[in-house]
Amino acid sequence: MQLKIYNSLAGEKEIFKPILEGNVGMYVCGPTVYSNVHLGNVRTFLSFDFIYRSLMHLGYKVRYVRNITDAGHLTDDGDVNNDRFVKQTRLEKLEPMEIVQKYTVDFHKVLDMFNLLPPNIEPTATGHIVEQIELTQKLIETGFAYESNGSVYFDVLEYNARGLNYGELSKRNIEELFANTRDLDGQGEKKNPQDFALWKKASPAHIMRWNSPWGEGFPGWHLECTAMSTKYLGETFDIHGGGMDLKFPHHECEIAQGKACNGASPVNYWMHANMLTMNSQRMSKSTGNYILPMQLVSGENDFFEKSFHPAIVRFCFLQAHYRSVLDISNDAMLASEKGFSRLMEALKILNSITPNDEKQSGFNLEDWKTKCYDALTDDFNSPVLIAHLFEAVKFIFALKDEKETISAKDLEDLKSTLNAFVFDVLGLQNIEENNNEKLDQTLQVLIELRNQARKSKNFDLSDQIRDKLLAEGIELKDGREGTTYVLN
């Protein structure tokens, strides 16, 4: 089985060859934790969660690093006084690190809700200031960077003069870049408008600041990813991911920094996830066209007619390939909900099927498995994989209606393969089972409270608990082994 990955740098699908056989080093740009993540951000992280799960399922040992951007960096207009963290501290009257903590916790909660696995390492930009200063020093020493008025800039023209190619990832040529730049940041300090900041001098209003050989300041955004990916994955590693919008300038700058520092391209496979749109417009905080994950799950929003369980949102996202734009709509969510229920129903039915070794089955399990793995290894094609899973679903319904048969061996194989794809690879959760689990936990708490009430001879309360549950159709039964319940 050969894994093919679309490499944004090459502009085509390539056969994946890890640096160290059987191992994968993967870095994904994490969130800037100055406000709540919106559903669009979730799509990108979910795309890479699916890729992470797929790589592990295919037998790779993965070291997955996803950072937290918690050092202030500039807004798109490049105005130093417009640092997102500084703005938010003023708005919320909180310390910068309180903002960081608040939104890091929110980020983790949201990803947990959508059943994303945590990365193996989650480094923070503020925890790697020393590494970033060291890299900046190295770039100055080797002539790739220069200091100007307490800030340090990467010299893009010098980089190109040495035969390196700024713009290779975003396929932009440097003359074009110079002609079209609107970057106001560092005007008068930079040799060229495309030079980007490695270190920025902090203005008096800037509260997130650190000492450096160039005075008090803070690191440039692009540098943190080079510092942390090099530290945990090496100077050249296998996969670097992020949203499509990070290709330029962020990832372009990472390539330039890596090549200038180490003489080698830092990443073998660049992977970019496409955007989530709503009403055909990119989801983004700045335009107001966004929805928070909790608003979709609770139903408190003006875009969707009902609430949707996170597992259904996850299923909906995975029905589009990670490199395609996905437009989220009420109809798309309703269709996903239907499909999801049918898939879960089929899994339930599968547990009650009686095999038959006598009759020949019309379903070729080996062929089906091959098609599923072909989809997975073809640049992680989740929609094609899901389409194949639904062929199995159709077959399972035919088994239920006794229009088809399956041998005992194939039944076990189908069960384990389907469960692995649905739960391990796609990362879906069985909503019904979860609800039952929750109900059970809640009833155990009530039984315990009733026992305590009885012990302290508060029979009024213990009877109330029993009677109220009975009125809801839940009968408590006291026996030698303790109290059990029956759902009527």
Positions in the binding site for Zn ion (CB under 5 A): 29, 225
- Contact partner at residue 32 from ligand AMP, Zn ion, none, CB < 5 to 8 Å by partner kind: ligand AMP
Beta partners for 267? 237
Beta partners for 17? none
- Identify the H or E element spanning 242: strand 237-243
For 130-190, give the DSSP string. HHHHHHHHHHHHTTSEEEETTEEEE-HHHHHHTT--TTTTTT--HHHHHHH----TTTTT-
Decide whether 283 or 476 has the Cβ nearer to ligand AMP.
283
Q: How far is the CB of 39 from ligand AMP (least distance, A)?
A: 8
Decide whether 248 or 390 has the Cβ nearer to ligand AMP.
248
Backbone Cα Rg of the chain: 27
Q: How far is the CB of 289 from ligand AMP (least distance, A)?
A: 9
State the residue for tokens 């305590």: 452
- The residue nearest ligand AMP at its CB is 243
Instruction: Extract the tokens encoding 455.
Output: 């012990």
Q: Helix or strand or coil: residue 66?
A: strand
Decide whether 31 or 310 has the Cβ nearer to ligand AMP.
31
- Contact partner at residue 276 from ligand AMP, Zn ion, none, CB < 5 to 8 Å by partner kind: ligand AMP
CA dist 270 and 11 (Å) reads 10
Instruction: Extract the tokens encoding 99.
Output: 């903002």
- Contact partner at residue 87 from ligand AMP, Zn ion, none, CB < 5 to 8 Å by partner kind: none
Q: How far is the CB of 10 from Zn ion (least distance, A)?
A: 20
Decide whether 6 or 159 has the Cβ nearer to ligand AMP.
6
Q: How far is the CB of 242 from ligand AMP (least distance, A)?
A: 4
Q: How far is the CB of 348 from ligand AMP (least distance, A)?
A: 33
Residues that bind ligand AMP (CB under 6 A): 29, 31-32, 40-41, 43-44, 242-243, 245-246, 275-276, 282-284
Q: Helix or strand or coil: residue 233?
A: helix
Decide whether 323 or 369 has the Cβ nearer to ligand AMP.
323
- Contact partner at residue 225 from Zn ion, ligand AMP, none, CB < 5 to 8 Å by partner kind: Zn ion
Decide whether 66 or 206 has the Cβ nearer to ligand AMP.
66
Cβ 239 vs Cβ 267: under 8 Å? yes
Query: Which strands form 237-243's sheet, in the order they lie side by side?
Result: 61-66, 23-28, 237-243, 267-273
Instruction: Extract the tokens encoding 95.
Output: 């310390």
Please name the residues in contact with 436: beta carbons below 8 A apart, sequence gap of 6 or more: none
CA dist 488 and 382 (Å) reads 41
Decide whether 49 or 404 has the Cβ nearer to Zn ion.
49
Cβ 320 vs Cβ 46: under 8 Å? no
Decide whether 246 or 386 has the Cβ nearer to ligand AMP.
246
CA dist 332 and 390 (Å) reads 17
- Contact partner at residue 283 from Zn ion, ligand AMP, none, CB < 5 to 8 Å by partner kind: ligand AMP
Instruction: Extract the tokens encoding 94.
Output: 């909180």
Q: How far is the CB of 253 from ligand AMP (least distance, A)?
A: 14
- Contact partner at residue 198 from Zn ion, ligand AMP, none, CB < 5 to 8 Å by partner kind: none
- Contact partner at residue 453 from Zn ion, ligand AMP, none, CB < 5 to 8 Å by partner kind: none
Beta partners for 66? 28
Decide whether 46 or 411 has the Cβ nearer to Zn ion.
46
- Contact partner at residue 258 from Zn ion, ligand AMP, none, CB < 5 to 8 Å by partner kind: none
Q: How far is the CB of 123 from ligand AMP (least distance, A)?
A: 15
Q: How far is the CB of 196 from Zn ion (least distance, A)?
A: 13
Backbone angles phi, psi at 115, to 5 degrees: 60, 40
Decide whether 242 or 258 has the Cβ nearer to ligand AMP.
242
What Å distances lie between residue 357 and 265, 347, 349, 409, 410, CA to CA?
A: 56, 21, 19, 9, 10
Q: How far is the CB of 65 from Zn ion (least distance, A)?
A: 11
Which value, to the nearest 10 degrees, does the dihedral of the CA atoms of residues 284, 285, 289, 291 take? 100
Q: How far is the CB of 246 from ligand AMP (least distance, A)?
A: 5
Backbone angles phi, psi at 148, to 5 degrees: -150, 115
Decide whether 40 or 119 has the Cβ nearer to ligand AMP.
40
- Contact partner at residue 88 from Zn ion, ligand AMP, none, CB < 5 to 8 Å by partner kind: none
- Contact partner at residue 145 from ligand AMP, Zn ion, none, CB < 5 to 8 Å by partner kind: none
Q: Are strands 237-243 and 23-28 parallel, antiparallel or unpaired?
A: parallel
Q: How far is the CB of 373 from ligand AMP (least distance, A)?
A: 27
- Contact partner at residue 140 from Zn ion, ligand AMP, none, CB < 5 to 8 Å by partner kind: none
